[in-house]
Chains A and B, each alone.
Chain A
Amino acid sequence: MKKIFFLLIIIFMSTKLFANEDVNNKILKNLRCLVCQGQTISESNSDFAQIIREVVNDKIQEGLTEKEIYKFLSEKYGDWILFNPPFKKNNYLLWLLPYLLFIFGGIIIYLMIKKGLIGKK
Chain B
Amino acid sequence: MLSNFGVIFSSIALITSFILIYFSFLELKISDSKIPKKIYNFSLAQLIFSLLSFLILLIGYVFSDFSMINVYENSHTTKPLFYKISGTWGNHEGSLLLWTNILVIFSFLFLILTKNKNKNFKILTLIFQNFLIATFFIFLLTNSNPFSPIFPIPNEGMGLNPILQDPALAVHPPLLYVGFVGSSIYFSAALAALISKVEAKSLATTIKPWVSVSWFFQTLGILVGSIWAYYELGWGGYWFWDPVENSSLMPWFLMTALLHSVLVLERRIGLYSWVIILSILTFTMTVIGTFLVRSGILNSVHTFANDPSRGLFILTFLTLMVFSSVFIFFKYAPSEKKTYRIFSKEFFILINNWFMVFFLAVVLIGTLYPVFLDTLVGEKISVGPPYYNFILAPFLIPLLFLMTSGPRHKWVVSELKKIFNVILFLSIFLFLIIFFIIQENNFLIGLILLFSIYLVVQTIFDFYENFKNKSVNFSRIISHLGFGLLIFFISINHIFSTENNFNIRTGEEKDTKDYIIKFEKLTTMSTTNYKSIVGNFKIINKKKLNTKNLKPEIRFYNQPQTITYEASIRSNFFSDTYLTMSNISDTDVFNIKFEKKPFMNFIWFSVLLISFGGLLNFFSRKKQI
Contacts and interface: CB of A to CB of B under 8 A. Distances in A.
Judged by CB atoms under 8 Å, the answer to whether A and B touch is: yes
Contacts of A16: 439-441
Interface string B533-571: 000000000000000000000000000000001000000
Interface string B348-367: 00110010011001100110
A13 B414 contact: no
B384 A84 contact: yes
A30 B351 contact: no
A24 B500 CA distance: 10
A3 B450 CA distance: 15
Interface in A15-56: 15-18, 22, 24-25, 28-30, 32, 37-40, 42-43, 45, 47, 50, 53
Contacts of B428: 5
Interface in B372-398: 373, 377, 379-387, 390-391, 395
Given A39-B235, A45-B565, A113-B347, A50 B358 contact: no
A65 interface: no
A109 B354 contact: yes
Contact of A45 (B351, B499, B582): B582
Interface in B384-437: 384-387, 390-391, 395, 414, 420, 428, 432, 435-436
B585 interface: yes
Interface centre among B350, B351, B362, B382 (most CB of A within 10 A): B382
Interface in A69-112: 78-85, 90-91, 93-95, 97-99, 101-102, 105-106, 109, 112
Interface residues of A, number: 58
A1 to B, nearest CB: 7
B316 interface: no
Nearest to A106: B354
A83 B585 contact: no
A112 B299 contact: no
B297 interface: no
Contacts of A95: 391
Contacts of A2: 420
B301 interface: yes
A61 interface: no
Contacts of B439: 15-16
A7 interface: no
Contacts of B432: 8, 12
Contacts of B450: 9
Majority-rule SS of A interface residues: helix
B501 interface: yes
A105 B357 contact: yes
Interface residues of B, number: 62
A98 B361 contact: yes
B342 A113 contact: yes
A90 B377 contact: yes
A15 B357 CA distance: 37
Interface centre among A24, A80, A120 (most CB of B within 10 A): A80
Contacts of B338: 112
A32 B440 contact: no
B386 A84 contact: yes
Nearest to B582: A45
A113 B341 contact: yes
A109 B436 CA distance: 40
A92 to B, nearest CB: 11
Given A12-B435, A84-B384, A116-B339, 8 more contacts: A16-B441, A32-B382, A45-B565, A50-B584, A80-B380, A82-B381, A94-B373, A116-B414
Kindly list the 9 A-B residue pairs having the minimum CB-CB distance in the complex, ordered from nearest: A83-B384, A43-B235, A84-B386, A45-B582, A16-B441, A80-B380, A115-B339, A116-B339, A38-B300
Interface of A: 1-2, 5, 8-10, 12-18, 22, 24-25, 28-30, 32, 37-40, 42-43, 45, 47, 50, 53, 78-85, 90-91, 93-95, 97-99, 101-102, 105-106, 109, 112-113, 115-117, 119-120
23 contacts: A12-B432, A12-B435, A13-B442, A13-B443, A16-B439, A29-B385, A37-B303, A47-B585, A50-B584, A53-B501, A82-B382, A84-B387, A90-B379, A94-B366, A94-B381, A94-B387, A98-B391, A102-B395, A105-B357, A113-B339, A113-B340, A113-B342, A115-B339
